[in-house]
């Protein structure tokens, strides 16, 4: 305890000596600078960081993101047209894709195979479904080729 007291007194004496050697203008500048600094108005201002938060970067590959976007479009369209089960399966495969990419791509291929059996009464709806499914199928095939995944045989 005594060493701490002696050390702090010595540090204060050294700081005072440096200020005396620097001259009388340094304390005036320091006091003027301290006056310009305003304390925060609210306690919550103390807790906030001064720089804005940076957005989190997404670690997913761009082609994987393309698969997820196409899956989201198709899933939303299917759910809007009464095919909730297939929409949920696509969303599940997409969730799997973010964790284990190979397993997610295989699951997406399985759902796409089941999607071929869906037939709609309206010609425009059938064309839109075909377009969205083709977009997803192409994205899945591109990413599978890039990862050099071998196609699995249908079960």
- The pTM of the full predicted model, rounded to 2 decimals, is 0.60
Predicted confidence at residue 63, as pLDDT, reads: 92
Predicted confidence at residue 35, as pLDDT, reads: 73
Question: 139: part of which helix (H) or strand (E)?
Answer: helix 123-147
pLDDT at 153 over 60: no
Cα-to-chain-centroid distance, residue 154: 34
What CA–CA distances, in Å, run from 138 to 66, 67, 154?
10, 9, 18
pLDDT at 4 over 70: yes
Predicted confidence at residue 31, as pLDDT, reads: 67
For 1, half-sphere exposure in the C-beta direction (CA atoms, 13 angstrom radius) is 0
pLDDT at 57 over 90: no
Predicted confidence at residue 43, as pLDDT, reads: 62
Q: What is the pLDDT of residues 101-149, one digit of tens each?
A: 999 999 999 999 999 888 888 899 999 999 999 999 999 999 999 888 8
14 versus 24: the higher-pLDDT residue is 14
For 32, half-sphere exposure in the C-beta direction (CA atoms, 13 angstrom radius) is 5
Q: What is the pLDDT of residues 17-52, one digit of tens each?
A: 887 777 666 667 766 776 777 766 666 655 666 666
């Amino acid at each position: 305890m005594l060493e701490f007291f002696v050390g702090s007194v010595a540090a204060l004496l050294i700081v005072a000596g440096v200020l005396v050697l620097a001259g009388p203008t340094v304390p005036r500048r320091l006091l003027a600078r301290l006056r310009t600094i305003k304390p925060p108005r609210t306690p919550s201002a103390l807790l906030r960081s001064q720089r804005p938060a940076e957005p989190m970067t997404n670690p997913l590959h761009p082609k994987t993101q393309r698969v997820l976007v196409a899956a989201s479009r198709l899933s939303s369209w299917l759910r809007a047209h009464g095919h909730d089960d297939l929409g949920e399966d696509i969303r599940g495969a997409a969730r799997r894709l973010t964790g284990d990419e190979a397993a997610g791509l295989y699951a997406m291929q399985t759902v796409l195979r089941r999607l071929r059996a869906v037939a709609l009464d309206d010609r425009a709806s059938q064309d839109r479904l075909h377009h969205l499914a083709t977009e997803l199928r192409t994205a899945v095939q591109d990413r599978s080729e890039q990862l050099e995944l071998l196609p699995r045989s249908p079960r």
